[in-house]
Structure 1
């Protein structure tokens, strides 16, 4: 390790197989930002599987965030709540590493973060994903970028599918090969993903190579299934039709990323996941995603990997409340959405009975949260229990006062990262969020990454759920079991 005299911190040099990188030690944490784990996905590498970067000799500056994947800002109300980061450059396939500055005679556990964003948004450079708190608590934290939108999830006739997932696998391979240089243990890697990032983690768990890449997994608020190719290609076909081109690698590659983004903006309906709006999606491709991840995991895939999984208690409020959609949903709209989702009328009646005074929009949100996320999660936890796999389940139930979000999708993230003072966090949970809750959640995630288990009971047929509500944070057995059973 080399040490310099930068006025903002100490300069650090670390060796990797591709070449040395120069980071910075600031505030007791070593930071190496924007390290390429794969070649820039341009030219011959565009719409192709990731390849190793060209090696370098001189120390590569790693003191500033690297380029982000091509993306649009969130539209409408979501744009007020969810930030977008755009850093120009071709080399978006990069990782940030945050490591403890204190020497340890034994390697540290590693936590790899896969951001969410509907497979169309997000970046490892967002302020809310700063890994300082994890490094402070003796975990080597790695945040990875991956290709998004048309660049990462197009369904083209003559190109590999699920390139964004291939990028995530390449990032994990980089971690296994390089993390020891940053004080991490390549045999103790936990992968953690939220929302679409959690869906990528589910796909990883279902992959035959999962155990060779990760030791543990955390899935937060994520759909666990992928789509058949004919459904996953819908957005690709919309873009192709809009541009008047074929859905081929040659014709998509002849368009710039900016042109593909402009087309995406034109063809997007603005409808969210609850209204069935189309988006880019994971495709069951017979290779990276050989079968539906949920089906594979229900059959035992990934059972040797301990899993921490959970949801917020009011996921759908993110899409329904700030936009004003909840107030516009009528009983007729609710009935149509219920039938489309295959939700029994008896379930709707039960949810209404359990929520006196709830309007159609609130009922739709509660039904969608359970149908899309909570019920599949419980089924997976049950199957893993019968297979002898270790699973721990949580629910985040603290209510954000910001735009009446409540315990909406994503509101747990500032607590998990223990960064309530950042602007990203304040914009989502306000400036009076309880530090005690952040300390409790962050500690649980650190314990899981370090020891492979958090402090509450593992899943069995009592169905213990750790409820992070900012009060007692108690373990509840079989919460709202009647509602879960009504949805099948």
Structure 2
């Protein structure tokens, strides 16, 4: 046995050793031979766990380039600790450009062909990793008899800076992070059978930015055939960035570092911390925020928008769940004291273009809510309007596009859900906020960071985790605990409403949907 896992199986350095480690019993340690070399995992009760499994080489020497496979190894590598996350603006996250690692939880290395559930983390395209406690796959693997995979990939400028129009040799830089995900899914295809998984039943699921990455993969030719079902949770990508706006964003980032285009070659050797600091530049397109980096329709990796003008044909027939939470923006706005105890007058100043993300007068929005929903307070209207105008729109459009595709006989609709279960923010405010469905889908209501705890939360988790695991297993999320969940169509707009119990509803919040549909939706970041 060897400690070479610090350079081959997990990321190097003290940052990694500071992360939680599994116990390794020398006589019972699970061992798997991957296509790149043998690895040794740990045990969490009856679940074999492999953390920090390398699926790609260090990206540092190949900044802005497609990922490559790692150098094979022959000696067993310990995979007991999470690998480093991609560089990002969170000092609490151990980070490195050597970040292409994934994690596997499996009930058995026994040759069984279990469904495989690959989770792609959120954090927009800028932050996050596959090692959050909420993403621990132990309970999901144990209770649903599935193989769970989480992963890290390049983020922000390292994964999505579009340099192709500014310098030669960077044709795919605007989608490097997506190419990392494709390399990880290729690893799953080639290796997951050795972990008791079925490479022919791979489901991708992701929340927020993770869902958006999945929507983009569904339109990316290189991802075709690597997964068979999909579920997006509060994360949509109707359109990708166009190459001109993406170039303007890259230029804003370069200007923030005072790096002229003539010296763009220096990006290859500058400290990654310097590159990250430049992301504080103001976005030239999406005013009021830091510079956005996300997938680009570059005609190299991505040749079309994910859900415009229709559902990408390569995935139009793929079984898919599309979901959102009832109070999405409570997760962004609810902990800010400035958004509490509002009056109708002060609400006007809070319904800014940066919050609504559409071009509509706040007075018009307020007047409509006061007439149509007199039961709502100004605080509640802030959350309802920003959710319906900004966060829910993409989900509605994707569901409509899938429904239209099904009606035309060119694909299938999507199973749509709305989460109504109320979790608690750190300040005590309750609601079905952005991220509230993560511990429910992972069946991790007792994990650190879960705002959904107790018996009622567990009841909701049983419903949601069961639906996701059943989709992975059968291609249909219906299970014994649910009423009949029918796909969304443009006549009824069928939606599963998850709470402590589940119920079907036709067009929930339909009046809000119709009100905001009068205003063109522009994908944030496009």
Q: Same fold (TM over 0.5)?
A: yes
What SS does the aligned partner of 2:199 have? strand
Question: Counterparts of 1:53 and 1:335 in 2: how far apart (Å)?
Answer: 47
Q: Partner of 1:113: helix, strand, or coil?
A: strand
Could you tell me whether the CA contact under 8 Å between 1:12 and 1:22 is conserved in 2?
yes
Shift of 1:481: 1.9
Q: Which moved more, 1:453-462 or 1:179-188?
A: 453-462
Corresponding residue number in structure 1 for 2:101: 94
1:181 to 194, 213, 218: 194
Give the TM-score of the pair, scaled to structure 2: 0.81
Seen in structure 2, the aligned counterparts of structure 1 residues 307 and 10 have a Cα distance that, compared at 3 Å, is: same
Please say if 1:358 is aligned against 2:377. yes
What's 1:459 paired with?
Answer: 488
**1:204-283 map, 5 Å:** 204-224=217-237, 225-246=239-260, 250-264=265-279, 266-267=280-281, 278-283=291-296
Task: Say which of 489, 498, 503 aligns to 1:468.
Answer: 498
1:379 and 2:400 equivalent?
A: yes
1:298 — aligned with what? 311
Q: 1:49-91, CA deviations, whole angstroms, 9 ceiling, x for partnerless residues?
A: 0011001010111111111111112xxxxxxxxxx75235553
Shift of residue 333, structure 1, vs aligned partner: 5.2
**Which residue does the alignment assign to 1:396?**
419
**Alpha-carbon deviation of 1:337?**
6.2
CA distance in 1, matches of 2:53, 2:318: 28
Shift of residue 473, structure 1, vs aligned partner: 1.5
Match of 2:521 in 1: none
The answer to whether structure 1 residue 130 and structure 2 residue 146 are counterparts is: no
Task: Normalising by structure 1, report the TM-score.
Answer: 0.87
Aligned to 2:12: none
Aligned to 1:407: 432
**1:410, distance to aligned residue in structure 2 (A):** 0.7
Cα displacement string for residues 206-263 of structure 1 (whole angstroms, at most 9, x for unaligned residues): 1234441111111111132212123234443232112111357622223111112233
The Cα shift of 1:102 comes to 7.0
Q: Where does residue 144 of structure 1 map in the other structure? A: 151
SS in 1 for 2:405: helix
Cα distance in 1, alignment partners of residues 106 and 353 from structure 2:
50
Output one character per residue of 1:318-363: Cα deviation in whole Å (capped at 9) or x when no partner.
Answer: 1222123434753255375699613488766444433324326335
- Residues 102, 347 of structure 1: alpha-carbon distance in 2 compared, 3 angstrom cutoff: same
- 2:123 and 2:477 map into 1 onto residues whose CA distance is 27
Alignment partners' CA distance in 1, 2:305 and 2:109 = 43
For structure 2, list consecutive stretches of 5 or more residues without a partner in the other structure: 1-22, 479-484, 518-526
Report the alpha carbon displacement of residue 484 of structure 1 after superposing the two structures with TM.
1.5
Structure 1 residues 154 and 436: alpha-carbon distance in aligned structure 2, compared to 1, 3 A threshold: same
Q: How many residues align?
A: 466
- Cα distance change on mapping 1:370 and 1:23 into 2, 3 Å: closer
Distance between the aligned counterparts of 1:370 and 1:66, measured in 2?
Answer: 31
Paired with 1:347 and 1:101, the residues of 2 have a C-alpha distance of: 54
Instruction: Look up the match of 1:322.
Output: 335
Give, in angstroms, the shift of residue 458 of structure 1.
2.2
Instruction: Provide the rounded CA distance (Å) in 1 between the counterparts of 2:43 and 2:264.
Output: 43
In the alignment, structure 1 segments of 5+ residues that lack a partner are 74-83
Task: Provide the rounded CA distance (Å) in 2 between the counterparts of 1:68 and 1:7.
Answer: 27
Deviates more, 1:474-483 or 1:325-334: 325-334
- Tell whether the 8 Å contact from 1:23 to 1:30 is kept in structure 2 after alignment: yes
The answer to whether the 8 Å contact 1:314/1:408 transfers is: yes
Looking at structure 1, the residues matched to 37 and 264 of structure 2 have their Cα atoms a distance apart, in angstroms, of 32
2:444 pairs with 1:419:
yes
Q: How far is the alpha carbon of 1:97 from its aligned partner? A: 0.8
The answer as to whether partners of 1:67 and 1:92 remain within 8 angstroms in 2 is yes
Q: CA RMSD, aligned part only?
A: 2.8
Over 3 Å counting, the alpha-carbon distance change for 1:291 and 1:8 in structure 2 is: same
Is the Cα contact below 8 Å between 1:437 and 1:468 reproduced in 2?
A: yes
Secondary structure class of the residue paired with 2:389: helix
Q: Does 1:334 align with 2:328?
A: no
Change (3 A) 1:366 1:142: closer
- CA deviations on 1:453-481 (whole Å, 9 max, x unpaired) are 111222233221111122x3111112122
**For residues 57 and 229 of structure 1, do their structure 2 counterparts lie closer, same or farther at Cα, with a shift above 3 Å needed?**
same
Contact preservation (8 Å) 1:110, 1:142: yes
Give the whole-Å Cα distance in 1 for the aligned partners of 2:515 and 2:335: 29
User: Which of these residues, 139, 142, 155, is aligned with residue 162 of structure 2?
Assistant: 155
The offset of 1:374, in angstroms, is 3.8
Q: Output one character per residue of 1:134-164: Cα deviation in whole Å (capped at 9) or x when no partner.
A: 2112111111111011111112233222111
Is this contact kept in 2: 1:320–1:365, CA < 8 A? no
CA contact (8 A) 2:36 2:73 kept: yes
Is residue 282–residue 289 contact of structure 2 (8 Å, CA) maintained in 1? no
